[in-house]
Every structure is written in structure tokens, then in C-alpha cells.
Structure 1
Amino acid sequence: MRSRWILNLVLILVLSALVWAIRHELAVTRAPPTLGGSGAPEPHLIEIAREGEPTIALERLASGWRMRSPWDVDADPGRVAALLAIRDAPLLRSVPAQAAALDTLGLDPVKLRLRLDTTDIAMGGLDPIAQWRYVASDNLVHLIPDRFQHLLIAPPIDYVACMPLPRDPVPVFATRDTVPLSSDTLARLSGLIAERIEPLVGEPAGAPLELVAMDGTRMLFRVSEDGRRWTRPDLRLTYVLGEAPELIEDPSAIDPTPPVSLAVPFADPDGDTDAAPIHTVWPESPLSPGSDVFAPEPEWRESPGTLDALMDPDAPLSGELPLGSPPEVRLRPHDVIREEVLTRDDFEREGFGVEEGRELPEGFGLDPFAPDPADADLAVPEPDPPRGQP
């Protein structure tokens, strides 16, 4: 009886799995194919190329999307997400590009092109019946819903983030008219959101407000008298705020960034010489004070025949230079080197002289290959030949 219950339970589980597999297969079959395909990862680079218009280039970073062209500024994440939805656009119809009249469909020549990493999508005209958009990608012509054309023809300023302050690097110090602002004010500025962004017309006006990041990056704004218009002269963009933030000054605040920075601050295009200069310290070379920091520092590198050339280990040595004392060799670090040179007479009279109070072994310091003096005394001298004989 128990085995029968177990068998029934196994049959029920198998039947449930079969029903789920059939329903899943039917659901996948009913889902239409998409332009980007299923399981495609999010791209890192987006490029919108338009005929007669500046190219819009976007890059995905760890801090979010950033515009690289025509400006280098944070991008609007909502606008980028709406543009990336084109990858999930359903395909109503697909035909090979060789079998389609590309000029009739508005795909030859291509006037609008979207690039997602290495995938090119050429945008064409509208279908007169279904009012769907013709697109070409991977040698195929597809028909997709016309929901993305307004994003592709929008001006580049629409893709700029509405936050005046950058996401990365985060500012850690701020000044207005060279007077430091409080830390609470800086925290409030990080959450500013502009109502709209306008291109700058004419010359920027307003009080200078400078933001400094921990890595030394500086960003200059021109703030209007009412505090609602924040202009970046380097980008020629104006952020229009709905309400002016309160800027509380704190003269005792200290800049936490290093005092010496090689970062070139943003130039003020209005050319106002009366405005306070940006405090940027350029270090001077200790070898040549007041000279260009990018010039070759050591002059002795170009004249290896001088005494200063000895400071450079890579400089060649001249034969006219005086040579120093020879290197000293010590068997132990605490040994003392005697400067006098011992002769054989000194050795026979006083000994070796290095270790006093210690007897030297027999034969120490003598040539082991020299003839024995005792053998020389026992040798019988040969008689001289008689005179007159050859």
C-alpha cells in the first residue's frame, strides 16, 4: 500500500513538470523576437551619428552614464534608459537587406545611425500602412514600433544631466569670491537639480563659485545675483534652478586638497582681470629656480665632461676627470683598514702588524712555492772552469 502511494506521488510530480514545460514553451513561442535579441548585456558605449548635426557619444562608467561628445559632462540616466529600450523593440517583419529597396525605405543613404558598442542600427523611413519604422542591422531590414525617433533627433543638450555638480569626483571644498563656504552648504549643493539647461548666449556674468575635488580637479561656475542661474563658462551651459540655494560662508574652512596642484584650472572666458585669480601653485625645480617645470632640469646631463656629471650614474666618464681612492675591502664590517703598506722587512721585524698580541702560524705570509733556504745552504757550488779552456 505504501509503495502505491509513493508511485502516485512520483507520477504527479512528473505530470506537473511536463505541464510547466509545455506552458513555458508556448509562452516563449508567443513572444516576438526583439531588435537586440534575448540576453544581450547592457552596452558600454552609445553613439548617435546624424547628418549635419554633432555626434553624441555616451560612455557607461562605474558612477553612471557620462557624455563624451560634444561635451564632457554627466549624462541624464533617464534619457539614456529610454534610448536603450530600443533593444527590446519587437520585430514585426524582417527581410534580408539584399532583397529590399533600401533607397525606397530611407536606408540608402543613411542619415541617422545608432551604435551600441559594435552593433550599428541604421534608422530609415516609416511604413505607410502600419506606421512602423524601418531599421537595418546585421544585413537585415526590420520593422519596429516608431517610439524612439524623437530620442535620436533630440539636441545634445537634452542628454545632459540636470545636476550642476558632477557625480564623480565629489567636490569637497567650495569658495564664492575666494571666501570658503560651509560644509553644510556644500552638502546641499550636491543635491541641486536644475529645472532646465540652456546654452550660454554671450559672455557669462555673476560671482565666481569654485568647487574643488579631492584629486585637485577644479570646476568654476558663474552664479547670478538671484542665485538661480549657474553658468559653466568652460561648457557654455547654464543650469536654471527653481529656487536659489542658501550659500553660507565659513572663512575658517580649510581646503583639504594638497596645496600644490598641477591641474590647470578652467579659464574664465569673460576675461575679467579684476576677478580674484584661481589659486594654483606651480612647483619650481630646486636645481633651477624660476625655470620652466617642463624643461630639462639637470644641465649636467648635456655636459658629461664636467664634475657635476658624476652625479648622474648614466653619464659617461671623461678621461680627464681625477680618479678617487680605490675601493676598500673588509672581511668584517668592524675591521679597520691600515693605510700604511707593509714591506717584507717590516714583516720580519714587527710581524704582520694587523692583529697584535697573537702569534702567527709558521710560514704565514711566505711564498709556498719559493725554494727552501736550507736546501740552498747545503748545495755544493760547481767549480769554475780553468782559465784558458773553453
Structure 2
Amino acid sequence: MSPVIRANVWLSGLILLLAGAAWWCQQDHRSPYETVTNLAPEQITLVRILREGQLLQHLEKQGQEWKRLPSGTPIKDREWLDKVLHIAELPSLHHFPVNESRLSDFGLKPPRYTLVLNDQSLELGMLDPASGLRYLRVGPTLHLITDSYTHLLYRKKP
């Protein structure tokens, strides 16, 4: 076999190997982290935002349109709402069970903001001083999440 043919065979094999590696990398899109809820944004039909127990927003999906309750006015800022719904699938960078007696240690007694998605309550606590991540309580579990979406809850009107 001539050196040119041998080089072409090696290059063809290398191309096949790289193509296979690229295909394999594209197949694994799963995040190494679990999400804070099992809800996908398209499954959510009810959103309530509370600040210190007082209702700020009450939104409901009626058909394909989101409306503010009790007035029934449609939501104009759909981009804002999509970002709020995305909070349901934020990755939990770290999580652990939390005892009710320790909630004040994490800024959750009482929580400043609560996001209710369908029937799941997400309570936002303070920032962890070491990591800068936000404490988020969902049921008996305390999650640490990035703080890149929580500012959306402070908005007055969508």
C-alpha cells in the first residue's frame, strides 16, 4: 500500500471518529442537576405571586391566553411570564432536607416572596453568603439556585 493511500485511510478513520464523537455529544443534553420542580412551563396553568403573604399577581391560563384575575385582562408582557414560568425548571445546584425550626436561618420564616405554580409553592429565601446562590424551598426540600430570575417577582404589573 502506498504512503498516500495509507494516509487517506488514516484520515478517513479520523474523520469518522470525530463525526461519531460530535454525534454522541449532541445526544446527551441532560443537565447533571435535577430541577426544583417536576413541572414543565407548558404544564402550568395557574400562577400566584405573593410578597410577605400578600397577593401581588394572580394569573390563569384560559385556553392559549393568560389572564390576570379577578379582572380577566390579558397579560401583555408574555416574555416576562415565560421567564417566571421557567423558574419551575431551574436547576437545583444543591439541595437538602430542611427542618421547620431552621427556616429562619435561610430567610424563610416567613418567606419574603412565594411563587405558586399550579399547586406547588416555591418560597424564596435569602442569598447564601458564601456562594451568592438563593435559597428556595419547595416542600420539605431546600434548594440553592442562581439568582438570575428572582427579580422578576418584584415587578408590579406584567
Same fold (TM over 0.5): yes
Does the 8 Å contact 2:113/2:124 carry over to 1? yes
- In the TM superposition, residue 85 of structure 1 has moved relative to its aligned partner by 1.0
Residues 49 and 88 of structure 1: is their aligned pair in 2 closer, same or farther, counting only changes over 3 Å? same
One-letter code of the match for 2:153? L
CA distance in 2 between partners of 1:149 and 1:39 (Å): 18
Residues 54 and 140 of structure 1: is their aligned pair in 2 closer, same or farther, counting only changes over 3 Å? closer
SS of the equivalent of 2:59 reads strand
- In the TM superposition, residue 82 of structure 1 has moved relative to its aligned partner by 1.0
Does 2:126 match 1:125? yes
Task: Give the number of the structure whose residues are more often helix, by fraction.
Answer: 2
Instruction: Render the CA deviation track for 1:155-208: whole Å, top value 9, x for unaligned.
Output: 1x2x1xxxxxxxxxxxxxxxxxxxxxxxxxxxxxxxxxxxxxxxxxxxxxxxxx
> Equivalences for 1:149-298 in 2 at 5 Å?
149-155=150-156, 157=157, 159=158
> Equivalences for 1:232-381 in 2 at 5 Å?
none
- In the TM superposition, residue 55 of structure 1 has moved relative to its aligned partner by 2.8
Does the 8 Å contact 2:41/2:86 carry over to 1? no
- Unpaired runs of 5+ residues, structure 2, are 1-19
Does 2:73 match 1:73? yes
Instruction: Render the CA deviation track for 1:225-267: whole Å, top value 9, x for unaligned.
Output: xxxxxxxxxxxxxxxxxxxxxxxxxxxxxxxxxxxxxxxxxxx
Bigger CA radius of gyration: 1
- In the TM superposition, residue 27 of structure 1 has moved relative to its aligned partner by 3.5
TM-score by length of 2: 0.73
Aligned residues: 135
CA distance in 2 between partners of 1:40 and 1:150 (Å): 18
One-letter code of the match for 2:102? A
Does the 8 Å contact 1:100/1:141 carry over to 2? no
- In the TM superposition, residue 41 of structure 1 has moved relative to its aligned partner by 5.0
Aligned to 1:3: none
CA distance in 2 between partners of 1:30 and 1:47 (Å): 28
CA distance in 2 between partners of 1:45 and 1:65 (Å): 9
> Equivalences for 1:19-168 in 2 at 5 Å?
27=28, 31-37=32-38, 41-51=42-52, 53-69=54-70, 71-75=71-75, 76-98=77-99, 101-155=102-156, 157=157, 159=158
Does the 8 Å contact 2:87/2:149 carry over to 1? yes
Question: Percent identity between the aligned chains?
Answer: 25
Task: Give the number of the structure whose residues are more often strand, by fraction.
Answer: 2
CA distance in 1 between partners of 2:112 and 2:100 (Å): 21
Root-mean-square deviation (CA), in Å?
A: 2.7
Does the 8 Å contact 1:132/1:143 carry over to 2? yes
Does the 8 Å contact 1:64/1:77 carry over to 2? no
TM-score by length of 1: 0.32
- Unpaired runs of 5+ residues, structure 1, are 1-18, 160-390
- In the TM superposition, residue 98 of structure 1 has moved relative to its aligned partner by 1.8
